[in-house]
A and B are shown apart, each in its own frame.
Chain A
């Protein structure tokens, strides 16, 4: 009789144990990746980012609606759709870095030790802040650009060696890009902690001129 009740208790505990182990495992697994576990402040940042992306999509949709209507009119009146085509070409040449561009933005001067991974992270952060065109010294960053280390602490962009001090220029909304770079806990603040003897100077610029992309040197 006693042996039986012992076995029943052991079974009950084993069952609970099993459930607990599984729950613990599952919560470990999801721990890293679930919106449920983000803090309200992270969620607010995510929402701001999603809203921004959606606004840009809406702008582009309204531009394209106009282009489609204009193209239809032009075609039906026998003029062809050259104007819309030219506008698209100009936009795509800027987007794919094939044309030199001008415009307002920010310049980041880096004087001291720095490396290719940090430069790649900086470019990623600039794109994230909405930069439309980026150049490192006189080399334009393109859609397939890559960053590598080079001899004598130089950094190569698409195989083109660049020596410090480096100036990273980005065309885009100057205030937005500036704040994204310099905010507390932002990338420049992090760099300043990691590269303690390097000087980082971020400035808003009213007129930048960036060259067009040149072919990678392999």
Chain B
């Protein structure tokens, strides 16, 4: 029996309608599957205990930092009480306060700029461009360098105060500042003259690479004026073991 042409037409139409999503579906399943198989056997076997260890150490670090903060405050309190007793102690206290401020051990508030740096979000990127669409340790060091050049008086990255021993460290695609694990977005708070800071960031000679990746790959990078920025005190250790004052 020959089906009438009018009945065959919608059937063909249906198959075509299903073909497109089916192909797309297959493509996505494959993509998903390939992303997963790229992880090696070793990764699967050892990652869970290693991630647990890293998280446990980061939690321990947060605890140690609070203990350190309590002890610093306690010593400060004893010294402040003692400084009312003699002129020498009072003078010492003034010098200590000045040094603590310049070392970044006291919190600071003031006007300045906020810089936000973030991986490109929801942008389909080819694997060659992935590198350019995420933020790297060197982007942070470039931003920090630009802010100091613009006359910043105090700075923090995601609430970690930037001090003389601060470094931005990158392993794989994880970033650490002051030995603390961090992930994007990075909020860099810089206190200082707003015009001078904005001038430094707007300078076309500065941060050319970041600005280009913002325009092409959609990297998140914004600099905005901000009032009453709070920059916390440095909560890490003052590692002086080898250097002797001369």
Q: Which residues of A contact B (CB under 8 A)?
A: 2-3, 6, 9-10, 13-14, 16-17, 20-21, 23-25, 27-29, 31-33, 35-40, 42-47, 49-54, 56-61, 64-65, 67-68, 71-72, 74-75, 80-82, 84-86, 88-105, 117, 120-121, 124-125, 127-128, 130, 132-133, 141-148, 171-173, 209, 218
| B:61-84 near A, CB below 8 Å | 61, 64-65, 67-68, 71-72, 74-75, 78-79, 81-82
A38-B173, A46-B174 known; 7 new pairs, CB 8 Å cut-off, are: A75-B78, A85-B89, A95-B165, A127-B164, A127-B166, A132-B243, A143-B103
B245 to chain A, nearest CB (A): 4
30 contacts between A and B (CB under 8 A): A3-B10, A13-B21, A24-B28, A36-B51, A40-B50, A43-B46, A46-B54, A53-B180, A60-B68, A60-B239, A61-B64, A61-B68, A68-B71, A80-B89, A85-B79, A92-B100, A96-B99, A101-B246, A105-B242, A120-B142, A120-B145, A121-B141, A124-B141, A127-B164, A127-B166, A130-B239, A132-B165, A141-B164, A144-B148, A146-B149
Assess A96 versus B103: contact at CB under 8 Å? Given A27-B35, A39-B43, A82-B92.
Answer: yes
Which of A84, A93, A101, A124 has the most CB atoms of chain B within a 10 A radius of its CB? A124
Which of B43, B53, B239, B243 has the most CB atoms of chain A within a 10 A radius of its CB? B243
CA distance A89 to B238 in the complex (A): 12
B173:A37 contact, CB within 8 angstroms: yes
A120 contact set on B, CB distance < 8 A: 141-142, 145
B28:A21 contact, CB within 8 angstroms: yes
Assess A81 versus B89: contact at CB under 8 Å? Given A50-B54, A54-B57.
Answer: yes
Q: Is the interface of B mostly helix, strand, loop or mixed?
A: helix
A132:B54 contact, CB within 8 angstroms: no
CA distance A166 to B129 in the complex (A): 35
Assess A80 versus B85: contact at CB under 8 Å? Given A28-B124, A132-B241.
Answer: yes
Report if B14 contacts A (CB, 8 A): yes
Which of A95, A120, A172 has the most CB atoms of chain B within a 10 A radius of its CB? A95
Assess A20 versus B242: contact at CB under 8 Å? Given A46-B54, A46-B176, A65-B71.
Answer: no
| B:142-170 near A, CB below 8 Å | 142, 145-146, 148-149, 151-153, 162-169
Report if B121 contacts A (CB, 8 A): yes
B128 to chain A, nearest CB (A): 14
B238 contact set on A, CB distance < 8 A: 60, 91-92, 95
A216 to chain B, nearest CB (A): 9
Report if B183 contacts A (CB, 8 A): yes
Which of A56, A172, A218 has the most CB atoms of chain B within a 10 A radius of its CB? A56
A96 contact set on B, CB distance < 8 A: 99, 102-103, 164
A113 to chain B, nearest CB (A): 19
Residue of A nearest to B39 (CB): A37
B14 contact set on A, CB distance < 8 A: 2-3, 6
B10:A58 contact, CB within 8 angstroms: no
**Contact among B79, B152, B168 with A144 in the assembled complex (CB-CB below 8 Å):** B152
A20:B61 contact, CB within 8 angstroms: no
Assess A145 versus B148: contact at CB under 8 Å? Given A101-B246, A127-B165.
Answer: yes
Which of B51, B82, B93, B180 has the most CB atoms of chain A within a 10 A radius of its CB? B82
| B:18-69 near A, CB below 8 Å | 18, 21-22, 24-25, 28-29, 31-32, 35, 39-40, 42-43, 46-47, 50-51, 53-55, 57-58, 60-61, 64-65, 67-68
Report if B88 contacts A (CB, 8 A): yes
B131 to chain A, nearest CB (A): 10
Which 5 A-B pairs rank lowest in CB-CB distance, beginning with the nearest? A53-B179, A42-B172, A143-B164, A128-B167, A50-B57
CA distance A55 to B236 in the complex (A): 11
CA distance A65 to B57 in the complex (A): 22
A49:B171 contact, CB within 8 angstroms: yes
CA distance A50 to B58 in the complex (A): 7
Residue of B nearest to A44 (CB): B50
